[in-house]
Amino acid sequence: MAPEPEVVEGALAPDFELPSSAGGKVKLSSLRGKNVVLYFYPQDDTPGCTKEACSFRDNLPKFSGLDAVVLGISKDSLESHRKFIDKYSLNFALLSDENLEAHRLYGTWKLKNNYGKTYWGTERSTFVIGPDGRVKRVFRKVKVDGHEAEVIQSLGA
């Protein structure tokens, strides 16, 4: 596979349209005028992904106060997303990227290596997009603990 494009701070955020757990589809460019927090995560209902989703859930009022929309993206189906949302009372939309369209646009579908085994998977990443549609901050290889605070801080900057 060819290397994915690198999304850099200051660049126009690549546009996409994906099915949403909230119904219908979400087109990124339709959210212009708001801050958008796009976070890519490997899989619904796994320990790190659950912890990350719950930290966004618990801090959603802070994000809303900064006029920010939080969107989680994984390759899971909408049905999987609905179960994940129901189980953890998530209060924001999850987008289903089963064809890896957004993953490829944002360069988050990576060859990974775990205990000598290589495989393709999602690199946990977050992109903060400003009201003008430009990328304000890029967080790659995210460590879940304290990440939501970094994201909130980047929105306030």
Task: Tell me whether residue 54 is one of the annotated catalytic residues.
Answer: no
Divide the 157 residues of the chain into consecutive groups of 10 and give the mean pLDDT of each group.
71 97 97 97 93 96 96 97 97 97 95 90 95 96 91 89
- Minimal CA–CA distance to 70: which of 20, 22, 36? 36
**Strand 125-129 and strand 135-139: pairing?**
antiparallel
Structure tokens at 26: 């979400």
pLDDT for 4 equals 53
What pLDDT, on a 0 to 100 scale, did the predictor assign at position 1?
47
Query: Out of 13, 31, 38, 49, which one is annotated catalytic?
Result: 49
In a domain, 6, yes or no: no
Q: What's residue 156's pLDDT? A: 85
47-58 vs 147-156: helix crossing angle, rounded to 10: 40
State the residue range of the domain holding 65: 17-156
Does residue 8 form part of some domain?
no
Determine the Cα–Cα distance for residues 136 and 8; give it in Å rounded to an integer: 9
- The answer as to whether 5 is a domain residue is no
Task: Report the number of distinct structural domains present in the chain.
Answer: 1
Q: Is residue 151 in some structural domain?
A: yes
CATH number at residue 60: 3.40.30.10
